[in-house]
A and B are shown apart, each in its own frame.
Chain A
Amino acid sequence: MKLSEDFICRKVCGETLLMPIGEKTKEFNGIFTLSETGALLIDAIVKGENADGAAALLAEQFAVDIEIARQDTLAFFEQLQQYGILLDDDAAD
């Protein structure tokens, strides 16, 4: 999976934001503020991790059970997919 090229993730004023760019700004008028765990998962995606890899990082960094981390990761990714922020690897941007 990959982050859509229509969005960028930036640390701004101490917070991690997910923002639409380019043509996307015309249809998507909003900015997401990511929690620490959300920021970690987005960073994992950008670094090429899959859901399992991202969940493992989450479990390690935040000392949570791997199964809970996996469930939370999948729920977060599902939300991102609904907004078109997270795409399958073979999806065209």
Chain B
Amino acid sequence: MNLKTYRIGVFVLRLESEEPILDADFFPLFRIDDGVPPDFLVRVQRAKLPAPAGISLQCGGHHHRIRFGGENYDYTCFSDAQHRAHVPYACAVRQGREVLLYVQYDAPFWDTMVFDAVGLPDLFLEEGAGVFHAAFVGDGDGGILFAGPSGAGKTTQATLWQTHRSAVVINGDRALILRSGDGFLAYGIPFCGSSKSCMNTVRPIRAIVFPEKGEKNAVAQLSAIAGFKELIGCISYTREDPAAQERAVLLTEDVAAGCRCFRLVCRPDTGAVEALSRALGTL
């Protein structure tokens, strides 16, 4: 039996498989000793995907959930451009803290594929932690999250902080946020989109910033409700799952109320870094 154990944030996850699971991307940075007891166990097996009788496996996107017989079947699909269809290649079935992952695919297993199919954001949400779409920057001993929709300027601002403030981009695409005492911590996670910026480290959140391209640089602190409205679009969860939705709303409300949130209307220049530094009191 092949074992691989990872710590992502505060959670220990173990993969168990008859076949080896190859290292991919940044996952090796998150490996820990296999002797550490896991919070979640993922049993991976190459097998025909379960297909509840009478229910079409036709997927509408990358992830697709079917609820059948009181169980959730979470399918992950690849995009078949030729046939304009999403074809399922993995199916995760949860039983408490164990996940049985069926994989039907003519290729070796690798850890990115496995964790993508497991649905980590929902697992973490059940434990009070959320995966947010944001460029996560470490500035000294604090963390700044640049959040918002694609094209808003998250990566640009993160890169500017790296260049002009000697900050580090801990993750160019995502951060795992969870409460710690009176504040919130952001953790690097192994998924970082196409950014190639990924570190396994943690920072207390100093601010969550929503960049918006503009003609000048201006910073305004947002109310908790305004922060919530921006942030709720950035948290990952299974949209078809009302319980996950409820958890996402509660956590996002907590984060928006507990962290300083800012709107940064900005140009892609050092003036944006200075304006935000001034607002954060770190210039």
| A36 at the binding interface (Cβ < 8 Å) | no
Distance between Cα atoms of A22 and B69 in the complex (Å): 21
Instruction: Give the B interface residue count (CB, 8 A).
Output: 16
B233 to A8, Cβ gap below 8 A?
no
Name the one of B228, B242, B245 contacting A12, with C-beta atoms under 8 angstroms. Answer: B228
Please provide the chain A residues from 25 to 58 with a CB less than 8 Å away from any CB of chain B in the complex.
Answer: 25, 29, 31, 33
What 1/0 flags go to A9-30 for Cβ under 8 Å of B? Answer: 0101111010101110100010
Name the one of A15, A23, A31, A33 contacting B232, with C-beta atoms under 8 angstroms. Answer: A31
Distance between Cα atoms of A12 and B246 in the complex (Å): 12
| B257 at the binding interface (Cβ < 8 Å) | yes
A21 to B242, Cβ gap below 8 A?
yes
Which residues on A sit within 8 Å (CB–CB) of B232?
A: 19, 31
| B279 at the binding interface (Cβ < 8 Å) | no
Which residues on A sit within 8 Å (CB–CB) of B239?
A: 21-23, 25
Which residues on B sit within 8 Å (CB–CB) of A12?
A: 225, 228, 249, 253
Q: Which residue of A lies closest to B233 (CB)?
A: A29
* A interface, size bucket: 10 to 19
Distance between Cα atoms of A23 and B256 in the complex (Å): 24
What 1/0 flags go to B53-66 for Cβ under 8 Å of A? Answer: 00000001000000
B245 to A31, Cβ gap below 8 A?
no
Which residues on A sit within 8 Å (CB–CB) of B196?
A: none
Name the one of B224, B228, B233, B245 contacting A21, with C-beta atoms under 8 angstroms. Answer: B245
A13 to B225, Cβ gap below 8 A?
yes
Describe B's contact surface by its main secondary structure: helix
Q: Which residue of B lies closest to A20 (CB)?
A: B239
Which residues on A sit within 8 Å (CB–CB) of B233?
A: 25, 29
Which residues on B sit within 8 Å (CB–CB) of A13?
A: 223-225, 228, 253, 256-257
- Would you give the shortest CB distance from A39 to chain B, in whole angstroms? 14
Which residues on A sit within 8 Å (CB–CB) of B257?
A: 13
B229 to A8, Cβ gap below 8 A?
no
B240 to A22, Cβ gap below 8 A?
yes
Which residues on A sit within 8 Å (CB–CB) of B60?
A: 23
What 1/0 flags go to B218-240 for Cβ under 8 Å of A? Answer: 00000111001100110000011
- Would you give the shortest CB distance from B243 to chain A, in whole angstroms? 12
Which residue of B224, B225, B257 has the most chain A CB atoms within 10 A of its CB atom?
Answer: B225
Which residues on A sit within 8 Å (CB–CB) of B224?
A: 13
Q: Which residue of A lies closest to B240 (CB)?
A: A22
Q: Which residue of B lies closest to A31 (CB)?
A: B229
Which residues on B sit within 8 Å (CB–CB) of A17?
A: 225, 228-229
Closest 3 CB pairs of A and B: A13-B224, A13-B225, A22-B239
27 residue pairs of the A-B complex, CB under 8 angstroms, read A8-B249, A12-B228, A12-B253, A13-B223, A13-B224, A13-B228, A13-B253, A13-B257, A14-B225, A15-B225, A17-B225, A17-B228, A17-B229, A19-B232, A19-B249, A21-B239, A21-B245, A22-B239, A22-B240, A22-B245, A23-B60, A23-B239, A25-B233, A29-B233, A31-B229, A31-B232, A33-B225
* Beyond known contacts A22-B239, A31-B229, A33-B225: 16 more, CB 8 A cutoff: A8-B245, A8-B249, A10-B249, A12-B225, A12-B228, A13-B225, A13-B228, A17-B229, A19-B232, A21-B239, A22-B245, A23-B239, A23-B240, A25-B239, A29-B233, A31-B232
